[in-house]
Amino acid sequence: MPLDTTTKDGDFPIPAGVFAETVTSVERFTDRLFKFRITRPASFRFRSGEFVMIGLPNAEKPVFRAYSIASPSWDEELEFYSIKVPNGPLTKHLQRIKVGDTVLMRKKPTGTLVNDALLPGKRLWMFSTGTGIAPFASLIRDPETYQKFDEVILTHTCREVAELRYGQELVAHTKNDPLVGEFAQSLRHYCTVTREDYPLQGRITDLMASGKVFDDLGLPPITPETDRGMICGSMDMLRDTKTALEGFGLVEGANNRPDTFVVERAFVD
Ligand code: A2P
């Protein structure tokens, strides 16, 4: 039997051209949100903020979905942050993974939420909702982000307070990290909740329109002279946040055409 069709675990062969990696840890945050870490293939290179297609070896033709890599490019393992999508063909199985299981990963990472796609600026705004925080979990742990921008602001909006925990723990760990902690002292984390009581409430789009987010942070409103943006969330959130940034005069960029903001889609099912 050729090597690339050898069954590593379970009944189905590993498809050719994908990495088969081992789960090293799983942590659950709510009944729907969990993070997991897998071994990193020695030959796998990516830029912080990129995503990759992942699947499980549970079918002849496994379902693959795009997942932002939540760990920085220097990390020895790869981290992912996932939500259980109702009836999602991948996440209905993925939500049950445990240490030692195999996760499949296609070999080519891609994405536009990378520092290279932005022109230099003073202040980087990272706008996220729900699991859209994942690519920023990577970028806030990359020293390059702080070398390129004097100030970094991560906004995270969720429906419920419990859904903020992954980001809150991440930011706390990052500030204490021996490698990036010193750089990350300039990182600001602005969390809001929309469907429960919380000190800061509301959608980030509304908080930008009213100016409240700028007042809360003691910052001037966004301008193309100093500010850069990255956006990750649901399709509706991407559209509305993009409109808000364009209202401030920012222009969408891409890898081959860096500009003042970039947009990503991070759907898992
Ligand atoms: P809301 O509770 O008002 O819908 P979801 O789980 O649907 O992706 O939502 C995650 C968070 O993103 C929620 O707090 C939600 O607020 C917010 N949100 C949803 N749609 C938008 C949008 N178009 N613009 C900004 N925030 C949004």
Strand order of the β-sheet with 123-129 is 187-193, 151-158, 123-129, 227-233, 261-265
In sequence order, what are the beta bridge partners of 106? Answer: 18
**Which pLDDT tens digit goes with each residue over 145-194?**
999 999 999 999 999 999 999 999 999 999 999 999 999 999 999 999 99
263 alpha carbon to ligand 1 midpoint, in Å?
A: 16
262 alpha carbon to ligand 1 midpoint, in Å?
A: 19
Which atom in ligand 1 lies closest to the alpha carbon of residue 206?
25
Residues 6+ apart with CB under 8 A from 212: 202
**Which pLDDT tens digit goes with each residue over 201-228?**
999 999 999 999 999 999 999 999 999 9
55 alpha carbon to ligand 1 midpoint, in Å?
A: 27
Ligand 1 pocket at CB < 6 A: 129-130, 157-159, 194-195, 203-205, 233-234, 236-237, 240
**Which pLDDT tens digit goes with each residue over 74-92?**
999 999 999 999 889 999 9
187 alpha carbon to ligand 1 midpoint, in Å?
A: 23
Cα separation, 30 vs 98, whole angstroms: 16
Look-up of token digits 């699991």: 131
In sequence order, what are the beta bridge partners of 67? Answer: 52
